[in-house]
Structure 1
Amino acid sequence: MSASTTGPPVDIPKTFGALLLGALFASVLSGISDLQAMFYFKAYREDPLRLKLMVAVVWILDTIHTGLIWSAVWFYLIGSYGQFLSVDEVPWQIPMIVILTPTIGVFKDCFFAYRIFILSGRNRVITAPIILLVCLRVAVATTAAARLFKFGRYSLLQLHGGWLITFTLIVSAVLDALSSGLLVFFLLRHRVEHGRLKHVLDKLMLYGVESGTLTFFGSISVMLCWILLSHTLIFVGLYFCMAKFYTNVLLAALNSRNHIRQRRQTTTSIGLERRTGRGRTYDSEAPVQFATPNSASTKVPSDHFQLGVQMERGVHYHDVEAQTDLPKSTNWN
């Protein structure tokens, strides 16, 4: 606890310290997303233009988000140095971050909503709640940002609209849980139909659970700190990282496709070997016998008999996002 004659005591670690740590961790996550974006453009040059544009837009928004974070930190730590009341002030960068975070989340949520749409057999009824929640979160977050601009202080927002922040975070948590739950449900259903690819589908399910859990608990943590520790800035430091979670989850989903394809090809090849009997051993020195209805068996030396089998197998991928990295035999209509 730090005190000063110019103002009330301020808990430095839980205010300015929380902001600094949040900004540093968000910057690390932003660096990871930069690496993922560069890897994507290098490894997936044949992707449709719409996907490349989506990644480019998310990358740009993430960079702007990082700049806003450090601009806000500069306001608190440098621009308002020694002014204890600045802990309660809301610089213009914070409302912009509140708007930008769900905006980045739209791309992630719509990407997974499209996967669920395909896995569900293009069932719009199942996908519609996800899209509605996405729109609701953006609308409520924009309203909360407008209130922040208007009041300019966290304490006033707590009194005259604190529920907006809480409701935004609740919608985010519900959206993450719903998306992950539906994704795992439909992958489980396809796992039963395509037992030979269970390892691939298990990998997809594990990733769906992990990504949903990350963003879900992130939203819950920010909400609890906003409600229980509103006199600190811990909730702001945690909220800095939410957009980075969305960006990295989306890019990781895109960049994991090659690994999933390789596992699918390996699984299919193993199944093919079992069906064709590849891997059996034969005695190459034993003579080969032929029998005809009117003659006895005739032995032919093995060095005068050659049998060749040539097998060619090709795998073609078209619009991998529409296939959601599942087998071609799946009925998508």
Structure 2
Amino acid sequence: MATISIGTNYGALLLGALCSSLLSGVLFMQCFIYGRMYRRDPVGMKIFIGLIWLLDTLHNVSVWAGLWSWFVVDFGAPERIDSIPKGIPLSVSVTGVLTLLVHGFFAYRIYNLLSKYRLLVTIPIVVLALLRVGFALTTAHLMLKDRSLAVFKDHHTWIFSLGLGLSSGVDILITITMMAILHGSRSSSLSLDTVIRSLILYTLENGALTTAATIVSMICWLVMDNLIFLALHFIIAKLYANSVLAMLNCRRALRRQSGSEHTDGGNDLALSPGGVVIFNKTKMHHHHPSHHKSHTAMEVNVERSVEFRVEA
């Protein structure tokens, strides 16, 4: 870098790391809330959440280790901003793995929710997600090898760019698929229209946030000669991790919303980590005419259950 800008390099890195740590605190609170509210969730889901939290912690360590090298070890030598501390490639790798776990989580949900064409829809998502983590690990390897941002950008710009582009593409594909599934469930259960509309909003917000972050980071990487792109990249991992916990923790609120709207015994809403199950219960009462006092009135209860699965 011919000209060193303290604000767009050191300042951006500091703000990115602080925002990343703040979002990590939000994730910790979400994990705590999840553990208190959903103790009956499957063990596998709890292990998955624990793995996300551990990776998030490792990401924090790698980010601040990189900043320690830039801010403390290389203090007073702004020309060293071009060097790549070992913590930065590690943060890129952890971001890639976290992204793969989150994409796999939503791909698994889509697979369970679809009754037709499930492989046709989920296989492209999984393949693109694997390619994305592959490019992330390749980026980390090349950063460790080159040890210079200028050299890495001159020779391997397309690798980092393609990794971010694949991440955005998978986000868009997952969001569109989930919204299509939810819209279909909405038309099948008009009485739970408000709840399903809330789920659609959750899906759109989560998908739009992660997509916007990766696209903006990629644009900054391509058109700017500073480290703003890396500051945004610090935040991407946190957004993906929080998106999973937000989807899981919203189940209690949706259940209360459903219960407050349906108190007539018509429809009931059961939420689980795998999705929302809507039951349509209809009771039919048949009374025999009592021509004689000894005849007893009979009541026949017929329960009809219709199930639709949508993501929660």
Give TM-score scaled by structure 2 length. Answer: 0.86
- Describe the SS at the equivalent of 1:47: coil
Q: Show structure 1 runs of 5+ residues with no match.
A: 1-6, 274-314
Q: Does 1:244 align with 2:238?
A: yes
**Does the CA-based 8 Å contact 1:261-1:325 persist in structure 2?**
no
Q: Deviations over 1:97-147 (max 9, x none)?
A: 111002111222122112222222161111111111111101111111111
Q: Deviations over 1:216-274 (max 9, x none)?
A: 00000100110011x2111111100010001111111111111112222333325749x
- Describe the SS at the equivalent of 2:104: helix
Matches within 5 A, 1:55-134: 55-121=49-115, 123-134=118-129
Q: Show structure 2 runs of 5+ residues with no match.
A: 280-305
Root-mean-square deviation over aligned CA pairs: 1.9
Query: Which residue in the other structure is 1:330 paired with?
Result: 307
**Does the CA-based 8 Å contact 2:139-2:160 persist in structure 1?**
yes
- Name the CA distance, whole Å, in 1 between partners of 2:58 and 2:74: 23
**Does the CA-based 8 Å contact 1:8-1:84 persist in structure 2?**
no
**Does the CA-based 8 Å contact 1:226-1:235 persist in structure 2?**
yes
The CA deviation at 1:84 is: 2.1
Matches within 5 A, 1:1-333: 9-121=3-115, 123-229=118-224, 231-270=225-264, 272=266, 320-322=272-274, 324-328=275-279, 329-330=306-307
The CA deviation at 1:75 is: 0.9
- Name the CA distance, whole Å, in 1 between partners of 2:112 and 2:191: 21
- Describe the SS at the equivalent of 2:273: helix
Aligned partner letter, 2:80: S
- Name the CA distance, whole Å, in 1 between partners of 2:207 and 2:277: 20
Aligned partner letter, 2:190: G
**Does the CA-based 8 Å contact 2:278-2:308 persist in structure 1?**
no
Q: Deviations over 1:254-299 (max 9, x none)?
A: 11111112222333325749xxxxxxxxxxxxxxxxxxxxxxxxxx
- Describe the SS at the equivalent of 1:161: helix
- Describe the SS at the equivalent of 1:121: coil
The CA deviation at 1:208 is: 0.3
- Describe the SS at the equivalent of 1:327: strand
**Does the CA-based 8 Å contact 2:179-2:204 persist in structure 1?**
yes
**Does the CA-based 8 Å contact 2:258-2:269 persist in structure 1?**
no
- Describe the SS at the equivalent of 1:330: coil
Aligned partner letter, 2:276: D
- Name the CA distance, whole Å, in 2 between partners of 1:188 and 1:198: 10
Give aligned pairs, total.
Answer: 282
- Describe the SS at the equivalent of 2:40: coil
**Does the CA-based 8 Å contact 2:172-2:211 persist in structure 1?**
yes
- Name the CA distance, whole Å, in 2 between partners of 1:316 and 1:23: 41
**Does the CA-based 8 Å contact 2:13-2:231 persist in structure 1?**
yes
- Describe the SS at the equivalent of 1:94: helix
Compare CA radii of gyration and give the structure with the larger one.
1
- Name the CA distance, whole Å, in 2 between partners of 1:331 and 1:158: 49
Q: After TM superposition, what 4+ stretches of structure 1 lie above 4 angstroms from structure 2? A: none
Task: Single out whichever of 114-123 and 189-198 deviates more from structure 2.
Answer: 114-123
Aligned partner letter, 2:95: T
- Name the CA distance, whole Å, in 2 between partners of 1:54 and 1:188: 28
- Name the CA distance, whole Å, in 1 between partners of 2:127 and 2:21: 31
Give TM-score scaled by structure 1 length. Answer: 0.81
